[in-house]
């Protein structure tokens, strides 16, 4: 984030209490592109640390 104050606000408001590491987001994308996700169709997958629930 560009502004430390904005980062603190996001982290404070997040149920997990931190910002995702790029690797965590990449792992979800890799899973969805893999054969292991072959039965997943037509759903929204929120990778937001629980922010959609707030």
Domain ranges in the chain? 4-53
What is the model's pTM? 0.73
Q: pLDDT tens across 3-51, in order?
A: 888 888 888 888 999 999 999 999 999 999 999 999 999 999 999 999 8
Q: Give the distance, in angstroms, between the CA of residue 1 and the centroid of all CA atoms in the same chain.
A: 15
Q: Taking 80 as the threshold, does the pLDDT of residue 53 lie above it?
A: yes
* Alpha helix positions (H), the chain: 4-13, 22-33
Model pLDDT, residue 51: 87
Q: How far apart are CA 18 and CA 8, in angstroms?
A: 9
Model pLDDT, residue 33: 95
Asked whether 16 and 53 are in contact (CB, 8 A), the reply is no
Model pLDDT, residue 1: 60
CATH class of 4-53: mainly alpha
Asked whether 15 and 51 are in contact (CB, 8 A), the reply is yes
């Amino acid at each position: 984030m560009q502004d430390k104050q904005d980062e603190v606000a996001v982290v404070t408001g997040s149920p997990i209490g931190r910002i995702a590491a790029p690797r965590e987001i990449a792992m979800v994308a890799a899973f969805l592109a893999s054969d292991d996700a072959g039965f997943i169709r037509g759903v929204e997958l929120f990778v937001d640390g629980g922010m959609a629930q707030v």
